[in-house]
Amino acid sequence: MASADTATVDIERTTVLAQEAKITPHRTDEIVPGRSLKRDELGRIHIKIVFYGPSLSGKTTALRWLFANVRSLSKGRIVEIADELGRTTFFDFIPVSASEKIVFDVFTVAGQRRHAKNRITVLRGADGIIFMADSRPEAMNENIASIQELRIALGTDRVATLPIVVALNKRDLPNALPVDYMVSMLEVQGYPVFETIATEGKNLLRMFQRILRDALIFKVGI
């Protein structure tokens, strides 16, 4: 059975990696909507969304589905870097234009533990997080380790202020863990939780719309 005791993360190393990535507590202006905005040369506001979670939880599958099926948004190109097994080793990046004035930069990060440095670096500057958990019983320890790493890397301040949604993926599997159990083990009570099937696109649009809305309110205030 999964437990926080068996799903360990190197707290000291994760803290050091977060410091190297320059992930710091929010400045006052960062938590005031409209005060700290990232703009490109065209004056467009950029908002960064990061998919986080363990390896093989479905992050890249979800991002590819959204790229192919969300027709209401103007999309740039998808950039992927994969290892010899076809898993994402750094990030997938899609600039999604919500309007002529706002661009959502959407990333997924490598879930394998050996890529912790790159994964935590991608977290820097995130304006919203989608945590994607794997509903298979054998993946629960990795789910717990991944969300522990996320909390340590972001720090208490950013965890408390950043928009975060949770996707419990692979809900079509016959042995998928109960939702209540996963929510309790991951300690995500109070967060928006979506039961997803990334291979079919189930609930991905609702999940994506929620994080875009929350991040937009958080950064711009609209």
For residues 157-167, give the mean pLDDT: 95
Give me the number of domains the chain comprises: 1
pLDDT exceeds 90 at position 3: no
Q: What is the pLDDT of residue 90?
A: 45
- Let me know: does 142 contact 136? Beta carbons within 8 Å: no
Which residue segment(s) compose the domain that 199 sits in?
Answer: 39-219
For 106, the token pair is 């959407």
pLDDT exceeds 90 at position 192: yes
More confident residue, 204 or 28: 204
Q: What's 31's DSSP letter?
A: G
CATH assignment of the domain containing 98: 3.40.50.300
Q: Could you tell me if residue 206 is inside a domain?
A: yes
Using CB atoms within 10 Å of the CB of residue 191, give its burial: 0 to 12 exposed, 13 to 18 middle, 19+ buried.
middle
Q: What is the pLDDT of residue 75?
A: 65
Q: What is the pLDDT of residue 97?
A: 74
Q: Could you tell me if residue 22 is inside a domain?
A: no
Q: What is the pLDDT of residue 133?
A: 98
Alpha helices in the chain (DSSP H): 11-20, 59-69, 116-123, 140-161, 179-186, 204-219
Kindly write down the DSSP assignment for every residue of 47-103, as one continuous string.
Answer: EEEEEE-STTSSHHHHHHHHHHH-TTSEE---B--B-TTS-BSSEEEEEEESSSSEE
Q: What is the pLDDT of residue 80?
A: 60
Quote the pTM value.
0.89
For residues 139-144, give the mean pLDDT: 96
Q: Could you tell me if residue 23 is inside a domain?
A: no
